[in-house]
Amino acid sequence: MKRFVELQYTGKIKDGEVFDTTIEKVAKDNNIYGQKKEYTPITICIGEGHIIKGLDKELADKKAGKYSFEIPAEDGFGKRDAKLIQLVPTQKIKQNNIKPFPGLQLNIDGTIATVKTVSGGRCMVDFNHPLAGKDLVYDVEILKDVEDDVEKVKAILAIEAQIAPKIEEKDGIILIQGNIPENVQEIISKRISEFIEKKITFEDNKSS
């Protein structure tokens, strides 16, 4: 049986700079408030890649409580790769009505990149994750193990599909309500069946 836990966390670069948190006060105190829509504990399934690899491994055998983990770069957002620093025509960036400047983060062909330099008709752009090469520290509090199947399904859909339909359990059946295409229903049902054994039914009453 795969383990789901509810937790809150604060992630920071090893030198102390906070870059992510689920705690509103921490976000405000570190001037990163507003980068997320809400600050609440999250539910994840350990071992499913819902969090970075190093933290996933650390949580595997941990019970409810507070912990602090040091995560090396290779188990965080990866080591820096010189091949991911590339020259991009400035015009390609400007065609989206964006004026490039050093430090600008933008989406290029579906990948987040950071402009390093702008010279003539070319920009040097870094496609490494902004935290690549950084050793990290995560302060984590595991609040509880999650046993409720509805909460498990909500967590899977929120993290893996970025959707939050209404979900309830009736007579041992998980009912998912929402405007979800049939082909997506099939994918969702197959994925959820890896975690729970109950039947999944969608709002249109078509079952998996």
CATH of the domain at 16: 3.10.50.40
Task: Kindly report the three-state secondary structure assignment for every residue of 30-66.
Answer: CCCCCCCCCCCCEEEECCCCCCCHHHHHHHCCCCCEE
Looking at the fold, whether 157 and 54 belong to one and the same domain comes out as no
Looking at the fold, whether 36 and 98 belong to one and the same domain comes out as no
CATH number of the domain within which 157 lies? 3.30.70
* Boundaries of domain holding 196: 148-208
CATH number of the domain within which 112 lies? 2.40.10.330
Looking at the fold, whether 73 and 87 belong to one and the same domain comes out as no
For 34-90, what is each residue's pLDDT tens digit?
855 689 999 999 999 999 999 999 999 999 999 999 999 999 999 999 999 999 999
* Contact criterion met (CB below 8 Å) for 173 and 201: yes
Looking at the fold, whether 5 and 30 belong to one and the same domain comes out as yes
Looking at the fold, whether 108 and 208 belong to one and the same domain comes out as no
For 32-50, what is each residue's pLDDT tens digit?
998 556 899 999 999 999 9
* Contact criterion met (CB below 8 Å) for 102 and 118: yes
Looking at the fold, whether 164 and 119 belong to one and the same domain comes out as no
Looking at the fold, whether 86 and 96 belong to one and the same domain comes out as yes
Q: What is the pTM of this model?
A: 0.83
Whether the per-residue pLDDT at 207 is higher than 60: the answer is: no
Question: Among 68, 92, 126, where does a domain finish?
Answer: 126
Looking at the fold, whether 71 and 109 belong to one and the same domain comes out as no
Looking at the fold, whether 120 and 140 belong to one and the same domain comes out as no
Looking at the fold, whether 114 and 142 belong to one and the same domain comes out as no
Structure-token match 């970075």, residue found:
52
Number of domains within the chain: 3
For 107-122, what is each residue's pLDDT tens digit?
888 888 999 999 989 9
Looking at the fold, whether 62 and 102 belong to one and the same domain comes out as no
Q: What is the arithmetic mean of pLDDT over 126-138?
A: 95
Looking at the fold, whether 63 and 96 belong to one and the same domain comes out as no
The two structure tokens encoding residue 116: 């390093």
